[in-house]
A and B are shown apart, each in its own frame.
Chain A
Amino acid sequence: MEVIVIGNGMVGYKFCEKLRKKAGVHQIRITVYGEEPRPAYDRVHLSEYFNGKSADDLLMAPASWYAENDVTLVTGELVTAIDRDRKTITTHKGSTARYDKLVLATGSAAFVPMIRGIEKQGVFVYRTIEDLNAILAYGKNVRNAVVMGGGLLGLEAAKAMLDMGLRTSVVEFAPRLMPRQLDEAGAALLRQRLEALSIDIYTGKNTVELLGNARLSGLKFSDDSVLETGMLVISAGIRPRDELARESGITTGERGGIVVNDQLLTNDPDIYAIGEAVLHREKVYGLVAPGYEMAECVAASLAGEVAGDFTGFDMSSKLKLIGVDVGSFGDPFGDDSTSVPIVYEDRTAGIYKRINISSDGKRLCGGILVGDASAYNMLLQITQNGLSLPTDPADLILGARGAGKEEGAGIAALPAEAQICSCENISKGTLCQAIENQNLTTLDGIKKATGACTGCGGCTPMVADLLKYALESQGKTVKQVLCEHFDHSRQELLDLIRIQGIRSFDDLLDAHGTGDGCEICKPAVASMLSSVWNEPLPKQSTIQDTNDRFLANIQKGGSYSVVPRIPAGEITPAQLLVIALVAGKYKLYTKITGGQRIDLFGASLEQLPAIWKELTEAGFESGHAYGKALRTVKSCVGSTWCRYGVQDSVGFAVEIENRYKGIRAPHKIKSAVSGCIRECAEAQSKDFGIIATEKGWNLYVCGNGGARPQHARLLATDLDRETCIRYIDRFLMFYIKTADPLTRTAAWLNKLDGGISYLKEVVIEDSLGIAGQLEKDMQELISTYHCEWKKVVNDPTLQAPFRHFVNSEETDPGLQFTEIRGQKVPVNWD
């Protein structure tokens, strides 16, 4: 049988995957046509494209998948006609193909209202990767952006604009945000939270005209007020792509959508329709999960299985990405008039919760969560599975802070058939079996084995709970240990060191470890000891990597490199001269590093103290290029010279670098400060980066270059210097205290439950009540700073180890150099 699928989007792809699983190529041949240039990708996570995910990362399956599974994929071709009598389709390139069964998965397009000036440059929609590329390109040349539409998608888009560093406003026609999911009170609270993120909200605004010549310059509202902006992103709802169906005489709804019955059949018995393009029982489903459900039904009936009907789908939704938890499930407004709402509101904490209880007090009908949606999955489960409620239903939303425990307990309470992952329709039972039989122990393991969490990801926290619950009921404990010598996580050891006042590796090993240590735990503990006590470890220097031990970076051949600190890359001619003289005198290879400073390579062990003497006497300090410590704070020249600069980026960078120099961390820390949005210092690739605005400084955190580059996330905007530094103190200290060894801030954030929004709560809102302590500990480290080079220079006993032989003065005869481009370099190793 020939099956043709029109539309290679999320649902079209999922249909191919499901059908191929059910039927081999000999039974059913599958051809799928996609208008977009690339194979189906994960539209649900489209916004992550702004956070460093590449188009390839987002693909539902690589192009090779289609070949391997005998699915013929035609991309970049729009199907323009269906001949239902001949049972053929034609594409815009004129090629035609025959089908026995046809599946329309044409999805939907962003709805663009007919407003005067809509054609202007700077007006975009938010649907495809091409849209995002256009937005990214145009966004470079504007300072602010407006999102039209305050619904799920609109707010998601707004967050993306914010991450692009743009001043962002949201314009909503309705009198409140997310009118379909939230009631008055909830929406008001959400508004308050968003305004705190410095997103401007305009509700009850009817846009009548877009101003500007060729390029957009602003919006004009029906009340004649004007909102100036360089860019507009329209997210005013979706319109099913039913044009092809309509032109082929297939019934469509008058407000759009391909009409189907419960078998997803159109009025043509050989043509199905699935996904967002469909109008089912007068309803269009703007979510992916119902689409997958439809795909399942059709795939089953084509494969000749007994196919269940599609009878509708729960439209509960949770807002992802934006720094505010929002959830809305079941019947949020209690329209079923018999139900009684229970409401909890805390304006100061910015939390609003509402649950609607059936009049007999036995069932949960639905509800709304704003500010804290930690109980969302649990409440949704209770609603969908009609679980019995606690004697006082209010317990469901009160004291939700200790949610962790309740959820765990709640998990246990769920029936095995309870659906946990709605996108992939996976039940609690299935997950538990997978964990048991394939003895999975990690979240990734479960994702790979079962496909859970791979859709919208909303169920991830719940699956994590389930894993913990399942493992514990198997008597296993879930634990991160350092190495064979320590049965503790870094965080536990850090606490032990602090609480028990432990100051040496051996004491820690005797008290809490076994064996004699190794190259993994020794440096880790060394860095912890200095993170807590910040004192030199001369007696135990041997627990440090050779770089930390000799305060320089070992290079091929066994020589070392010397990197003096050059704060912000700012250096006087006189200082340059000192470096030149030292390098000349000791015949060192010199190079400008990627970190805006100068590296002097090729020093022998014996030479190091003498080189440091000359450098420190001239006012230089160690640059800690050898340590898991602050490396560089790069700067751009900023407002002092640059015609675009809005703040003194160099001055701030110097201050920051001098503030944090020397502190030890789980991994190296890098920063940068840019003087304006052009970002010449590449601050968004740093562990913490600062970008000047007219009003102050935007603070980004957890960026990374290296092997797996990741853009930094916006933590806070328009800060004054003091606040900015306070947030950095808290951020760095929180990282130092909680990250695993050799984990950069980016990797740490990726592992952090609740991600950037949780980090914001801890750092900005002080949700854990530890901000004061963090600042205090940081101040402690800063005030105990000392230049490690000076220490060695001033204390001859510390210089003893700086020799190659214990029984001879001469240097290592093995050190051999040749010359390249007029400088010495080590002879290469094979």
Chain B
Amino acid sequence: MQSLLKEHAPKDTSDVRTWFLAAPVTNFPENGGACVRYKDLQVAVFNFSRRKEWYACQNLCPHKKQMILSRGMVGSHAGEPKVACPFHKKSFSLRSGECLSGDECSITTFPVKVEDGQVYIGFGS
């Protein structure tokens, strides 16, 4: 898994090699997420409509290695956009991927862009 992430994650937007067309905007619930498959990678994509922002991160929750973050609840902590895992409510920053509830290791995030109603995720591979 980690290797997969290394392989596909861009360092930053400039490092993006592929803009992968995920799905039309309408497939993503407002202020919620859905899971996108890219090769063998599962990516959680969030339509944070309240903030008019889009985010993407690994679907795997590092705590118990569950493919679940796309079903997590988005929200903010002191202004920082975050997602909370449905299983044990660990939350992670959607910007930096850093774990906001202490101990857990951080998660990989991906750049997202929306063009004429379509959602694209940026990969480094």
B is a partner of A:
yes
Q: Which chain B positions have C-beta within 8 A of A484?
A: 77-78
Are B76 and A557 in contact, CB atoms less than 8 angstroms apart? no
Say which residue of B74, B77, B89 sits within 8 Å of A542 (CB atoms). B74
Per the bound structure, the CA–CA distance linking A55 and B36 in Å amounts to: 57
Q: Which chain B positions have C-beta within 8 A of A812?
A: 35, 42, 67
Compute the total of residue contacts between A and B using a CB distance below 8 Å: 99
Say whether B106 faces chain A, with CB atoms less than 8 Å apart.
no
Are B50 and A814 in contact, CB atoms less than 8 angstroms apart? no
Q: Which residues of B3-31 are within 8 A (CB) of A?
A: 22-23, 27-31
Are A522 and B36 in contact, CB atoms less than 8 angstroms apart? no
Given contacts A518-B73, A518-B76, A542-B74, contact A805 B29 (CB under 8 A): no
Are B79 and A805 in contact, CB atoms less than 8 angstroms apart? no
> CB-CB contacts of A538-553 with B at 8 A, as 1s and 0s?
0111110110011000
Per the bound structure, the CA–CA distance linking A806 and B51 in Å amounts to: 22
Are B42 and A814 in contact, CB atoms less than 8 angstroms apart? yes
Given contacts A484-B77, A542-B73, contact A808 B64 (CB under 8 A): no
Nearest A residue to B61 via CB reads A558
Per the bound structure, the CA–CA distance linking A543 and B73 in Å amounts to: 7
Given contacts A806-B36, A807-B36, A812-B67, contact A522 B73 (CB under 8 A): yes
Are A558 and B68 in contact, CB atoms less than 8 angstroms apart? yes
Are A546 and B75 in contact, CB atoms less than 8 angstroms apart? no
Say whether A519 faces chain B, with CB atoms less than 8 Å apart.
yes
Are B37 and A542 in contact, CB atoms less than 8 angstroms apart? no
Per the bound structure, the CA–CA distance linking A518 and B93 in Å amounts to: 12
Are A554 and B86 in contact, CB atoms less than 8 angstroms apart? yes
Q: Which chain B positions have C-beta within 8 A of A546?
A: 71-72, 86
**Closest Cβ of chain A: how far from B56's Cβ, in Å?**
12
> CB-CB contacts of A511-547 with B at 8 A, as 1s and 0s?
0000111110011000000000000000111110110
Nearest A residue to B81 via CB reads A516
Per the bound structure, the CA–CA distance linking A484 and B76 in Å amounts to: 10
Q: Which chain A positions have C-beta within 8 A of B71?
A: 546, 549-550, 554
Say which residue of A517, A545, A554, A558 sits within 8 Å of B76 (CB atoms). A517
Say which residue of A540, A542, A807, A830 sits within 8 Å of B65 (CB atoms). A830
Q: Which size bracket describes the interface of B in this complex?
A: 35 or more
Q: Which size bracket describes the interface of A in this complex?
A: 20 to 34
Interface of chain A, main secondary structure: loop
**Closest Cβ of chain B: how far from A815's Cβ, in Å?**
8
Q: Which residues of B43-98 are within 8 A (CB) of A?
A: 45, 48, 50-51, 64-68, 71-79, 81-82, 84, 86-87, 89, 91
Given contacts A539-B30, A806-B27, contact A814 B48 (CB under 8 A): no
Say whether A801 faces chain B, with CB atoms less than 8 Å apart.
yes
Q: Which chain A positions have C-beta within 8 A of B81?
A: 516
Given contacts A516-B81, A554-B87, A814-B67, contact A806 B28 (CB under 8 A): yes
Are B89 and A519 in contact, CB atoms less than 8 angstroms apart? yes
Say whether A506 faces chain B, with CB atoms less than 8 Å apart.
yes
Say whether A829 faces chain B, with CB atoms less than 8 Å apart.
yes
Given contacts A506-B50, A546-B86, A806-B23, contact A522 B67 (CB under 8 A): no
Say whether B107 faces chain A, with CB atoms less than 8 Å apart.
no
Given contacts A506-B50, A519-B84, A554-B86, contact A805 B78 (CB under 8 A): no
Per the bound structure, the CA–CA distance linking A814 and B41 in Å amounts to: 11
Q: Which chain B positions have C-beta within 8 A of A542?
A: 29-33, 73-74
**Closest Cβ of chain A: how far from B36's Cβ, in Å?**
5
Are B23 and A807 in contact, CB atoms less than 8 angstroms apart? yes
**Closest Cβ of chain A: how far from B69's Cβ, in Å?**
11
Q: Which chain B positions have C-beta within 8 A of A506?
A: 31, 50
Nearest A residue to B64 via CB reads A829
Are B32 and A516 in contact, CB atoms less than 8 angstroms apart? no
Given contacts A518-B76, A519-B75, contact A558 B66 (CB under 8 A): yes
Say whether A776 faces chain B, with CB atoms less than 8 Å apart.
no
Per the bound structure, the CA–CA distance linking A554 and B64 in Å amounts to: 14
Per the bound structure, the CA–CA distance linking A546 and B32 in Å amounts to: 11
Per the bound structure, the CA–CA distance linking A801 and B67 in Å amounts to: 16
Are B36 and A558 in contact, CB atoms less than 8 angstroms apart? no
Say which residue of B37, B45, B84 sits within 8 Å of A808 (CB atoms). B37
**Closest Cβ of chain B: how far from A787's Cβ, in Å?**
22
Say whether A804 faces chain B, with CB atoms less than 8 Å apart.
yes
> CB-CB contacts of A806-820 with B at 8 A, as 1s and 0s?
111000101000000
Are A515 and B37 in contact, CB atoms less than 8 angstroms apart? no
Per the bound structure, the CA–CA distance linking A812 and B91 in Å amounts to: 22
Q: Which chain A positions have C-beta within 8 A of B29?
A: 541-542, 801
Are B67 and A558 in contact, CB atoms less than 8 angstroms apart? yes
Q: Which chain A positions have C-beta within 8 A of B76?
A: 485, 515-518
**Closest Cβ of chain A: how far from B19's Cβ, in Å?**
14
Nearest A residue to B84 via CB reads A519
Per the bound structure, the CA–CA distance linking A523 and B81 in Å amounts to: 18
Q: Which chain B positions have C-beta within 8 A of A554?
A: 68, 71, 86-87
Nearest A residue to B70 via CB reads A804
Q: Which chain A positions have C-beta within 8 A of B35?
A: 804-806, 812
> CB-CB contacts of A782-819 with B at 8 A, as 1s and 0s?
00000000000000000011001111100010100000
Q: Which residues of A428-470 are within 8 A (CB) of B?
A: none
Nearest B residue to A505 via CB reads B31
Given contacts A554-B87, A812-B67, contact A515 B32 (CB under 8 A): no
Q: Which chain B positions have C-beta within 8 A of A540?
A: 30-31
Chain A CB count within 10 A is highest, among B32, B51, B75, B84, for B75
Q: Which chain B positions have C-beta within 8 A of A808?
A: 37
Are B36 and A557 in contact, CB atoms less than 8 angstroms apart? no
Given contacts A518-B84, A829-B64, contact A806 B74 (CB under 8 A): no
Per the bound structure, the CA–CA distance linking A546 and B35 in Å amounts to: 14
Are B75 and A517 in contact, CB atoms less than 8 angstroms apart? yes
Are B86 and A545 in contact, CB atoms less than 8 angstroms apart? yes
> CB-CB contacts of A478-518 with B at 8 A, as 1s and 0s?
00000011000000000000000000001000000001111
Say which residue of B45, B79, B91 sits within 8 Å of A515 (CB atoms). B79
Nearest A residue to B87 via CB reads A554
Say which residue of B34, B45, B50, B66 sits within 8 Å of A557 (CB atoms). B66
Q: Which chain A positions have C-beta within 8 A of B23?
A: 806-807
Nearest A residue to B82 via CB reads A518
**Closest Cβ of chain B: how far from A515's Cβ, in Å?**
5
Q: Which residues of A401-453 are within 8 A (CB) of B?
A: none
Are A805 and B37 in contact, CB atoms less than 8 angstroms apart? yes
Chain B CB count within 10 A is highest, among A546, A807, A829, for A807
Q: Which chain B positions have C-beta within 8 A of A541?
A: 29, 32
Q: Which chain A positions have C-beta within 8 A of B64?
A: 556, 829-830
Nearest B residue to A516 via CB reads B76
Are B51 and A516 in contact, CB atoms less than 8 angstroms apart? yes
Chain B CB count within 10 A is highest, among A543, A554, A806, for A806
**Closest Cβ of chain A: how far from B57's Cβ, in Å?**
15
Are A829 and B65 in contact, CB atoms less than 8 angstroms apart? yes
Nearest B residue to A810 via CB reads B37
Q: Which residues of B102-116 are within 8 A (CB) of A?
A: none
Chain B CB count within 10 A is highest, among A517, A518, A801, for A518
Per the bound structure, the CA–CA distance linking A801 and B26 in Å amounts to: 11
Are A522 and B75 in contact, CB atoms less than 8 angstroms apart? yes
**Closest Cβ of chain B: how far from A495's Cβ, in Å?**
24
Q: Which chain A positions have C-beta within 8 A of B91?
A: 518-519
Closest 3 CB pairs of A and B: A542-B32, A518-B75, A546-B86
Further contacts, 15 of them, CB under 8 A, given A485-B76, A546-B71, A554-B68: A506-B31, A516-B51, A516-B75, A517-B75, A518-B82, A519-B73, A540-B30, A550-B71, A558-B68, A801-B34, A806-B27, A807-B37, A812-B42, A814-B42, A814-B66
Residue contacts A-B, CB under 8 angstroms, 5 given: A484-B78, A518-B75, A554-B71, A812-B67, A814-B67
